Structure 1
Amino acid sequence: MSLFWETIIRTIIAFSLIMVFTRLLGKHTIARMTYHDFVASITLGAITSNIALNTHLKTWQSVASFTTFAGIAYLVALISLKSRKSRKWLAGKPTVIIENGKILENNLKKMHVSLDALNQELREKDIFDPDEVEYAVLELNGKLSILRKPECRYVMRKDLQSLFLTSQTKLQFPVELIMDGKIITENLLQNGMSPEWMTKQLQKRGVNLEEVSYAVRKTNGDLFFDLYRDRIRHPIDQE
């Protein structure tokens, strides 16, 4: 076989492999890049280029290397999905870098983010004064999420009702209380709550802990519960 046709065939194999692997990992790999996704993407990209262009390596060797690494990446993704502790270690966790208009310099240093970079991110979100920010969170994919202070937000229909209230509830940072059917005891204790209190909240709603996929205390202090059983007859985008 000529070198030309060998390169064409190897390129088709490389393209097919990377497409199958991307579909296997799911849409989240494209939408965001965590530590795990970043390492997997770069390494698999290098292996794929070797499959397509490095004719000094036998095709089966390159394919075996790709398959092995893809299997490891898929296994790590499954472990991250099942275990919150593993997920925090593999993907990291969001970091608050502005709280109540105050820049948290120590957190900036931990994330290796400069004040210039932070100001650029804020300006890109039409914020030129950090004092307008209630919370700024650096997400797992490196993007900055912003919660403006109430007086600096755009007005929504539900906000009009607050015009008739004599007082306004102070916003709080959302706190995750339950994830994957398990109580996050650390978050409860840090925010003046207890597992017993959480148990009572579940009893009020008539659900068991194992039925809850996710629970969070919202910014207004209310509790939000999402159950595994959504009771939606025809959910959108099933695959």
Structure 2
Amino acid sequence: MPEWLEIIIRSILFLTILFLLTKIIGKKQISELSFFEYVSGITIGSIAGEVIMGLEDSMFYGMIGILTFGITTFAVDYFALKSKKFRDIVEGKSTVLIQDGKILEDNLKKEKYTIDDMSALLRQKDVFNVADVEFAVLEPNGELSVLLKKENQPLTPKDVNLQVAQEKVPQTVIMDGQILDDALSSAGKTRKWLNIELEKLGVLLENVFMAQVDSYGELTVDIFDDKINVPSPQARPLLLAMIKKAQADLELFALETDSEKAKKMYRKNAEKLKITMEKLTPYLSEPLQ
């Protein structure tokens, strides 16, 4: 057998074995590696490379080596799930680097991290001032988890008692000019509705690269031609504008009429619309484009 053909056969064989081993071990092997998984992955790859290029006389011995490391890695992961102590030994434990706003120098030395190393990790979290940090912990995978001091945390709607609309996962109803009926059904819409919305936007189905239905039931469209601007949905902003106009008209009518009874009626309904508008604003407010 020609040497080049043997290399091709070995490559395909061991690529298949490595793929199956990775599937058995799980996604963790290709995402967050523990110390053991890191060493195991390097060793398996090295053995496969040696055998594929024919530097080892026996493929069988190479397969035994790879299977041994694969089974060992699987066993280590299994026992790590069962035992917290074993997991701490194999994967390591988290280390607190900053607590109550103070850097713990002993823990930095323990992990062999310098101030520059910690500062680089903080910058990856968009934190440039150590004084802004209340708590920081170095995870076993090398990531730094950071909790900012209360006064430095971003303001949320909950902090100001602001009601916001509940968001749901958008449904992709058109992809590459094809309607996805399952997604359309999940969004509670029909093809007839979809065709009407596309007609409103002045877009043909075959020109749509992707279209999604959001939490509010509005359709957003991206077409193949990037030079053409498709108008954004305006139903909610327009509805809010109509409510504001109606409320303003009622207040104006109350000022213009001479009838006390009519004044009272207009002001009462204007107040009702104002309360309704305040409740609906988080759901309807969206800048007109």
Partner residue, 1:144: 144
Partner residue, 1:193: none
User: CA-to-partner distance for each residue in 1:174-200, whole Å, 9 max, x for gaps?
Assistant: xxxxxxxxxxxxxxxxxxxxxxxxxxx
Deviation at 1:70, TM superposition (A): 0.9
TM-score normalised per structure 1? 0.65
Alignment of 1:117-136 (within 5 A): 117-136=117-136
User: CA-to-partner distance for each residue in 1:186-221, whole Å, 9 max, x for gaps?
Assistant: xxxxxxxxxxxxxxxxxxxxxxxxxxxxxxxxxxxx
Alignment of 1:178-189 (within 5 A): none
Q: C-alpha distance in 1, partners of 2:2/2:116?
A: 54
Q: C-alpha distance in 1, partners of 2:38/2:83?
A: 20
Q: C-alpha distance in 2, partners of 1:31/1:56?
A: 30
Partner residue, 1:67: 67
Equivalent residues of 1:119, 1:128 under 8 A apart: yes
Equivalent residues of 2:50, 2:56 under 8 A apart: no
Partner residue, 2:82: 82
Q: C-alpha distance in 2, partners of 1:159/1:34?
A: 38
Partner residue, 2:179: none
**AA aligned opposite 2:147:** L
Structure whose CA Rg is larger: 2
Q: C-alpha distance in 2, partners of 1:48/1:156?
A: 51
- Residue 55 and residue 9 in structure 1: after superposition, are their counterparts in 2 closer, same or farther (change >3 A)? farther
Alignment of 1:4-153 (within 5 A): 4-153=4-153
Gaps of 5+ in 2: 163-289
Q: C-alpha distance in 2, partners of 1:156/1:100?
A: 23
Higher helix share: 2
Deviation at 1:55, TM superposition (A): 4.0
Q: C-alpha distance in 2, partners of 1:13/1:80?
A: 30
User: CA-to-partner distance for each residue in 1:7-63, whole Å, 9 max, x for gaps?
Assistant: 001111121111111111111222201112111111111112122113432111101
User: CA-to-partner distance for each residue in 1:67-87, whole Å, 9 max, x for gaps?
Assistant: 111111111111111111100
For the residue of structure 2 that corresponds to 1:146, the secondary structure is strand
Equivalent residues of 1:95, 1:139 under 8 A apart: yes
- Residue 40 and residue 56 in structure 1: after superposition, are their counterparts in 2 closer, same or farther (change >3 A)? closer
Which of structures 1 and 2 has the larger relative contact order (alpha carbons within 8 angstroms, sep 6+)?
Answer: 1
Partner residue, 1:208: none
Q: C-alpha distance in 1, partners of 2:77/2:27?
A: 12
Equivalent residues of 2:25, 2:70 under 8 A apart: no
User: CA-to-partner distance for each residue in 1:73-116, whole Å, 9 max, x for gaps?
Assistant: 11111111111110001110111101122111100111111111
Deviation at 1:123, TM superposition (A): 1.7
For the residue of structure 2 that corresponds to 1:32, the secondary structure is coil
Q: C-alpha distance in 2, partners of 1:88/1:140?
A: 9
Equivalent residues of 1:47, 1:66 under 8 A apart: yes
Equivalent residues of 1:133, 1:149 under 8 A apart: yes
Equivalent residues of 1:7, 1:55 under 8 A apart: no
Alignment of 1:192-203 (within 5 A): none
For the residue of structure 2 that corresponds to 1:47, the secondary structure is helix
Q: C-alpha distance in 2, partners of 1:53/1:135?
A: 50
For the residue of structure 1 that corresponds to 2:57, the secondary structure is coil
Q: C-alpha distance in 1, partners of 2:17/2:95?
A: 35
**AA aligned opposite 2:31:** A
Q: C-alpha distance in 2, partners of 1:154/1:72?
A: 45
Gaps of 5+ in 1: 163-239
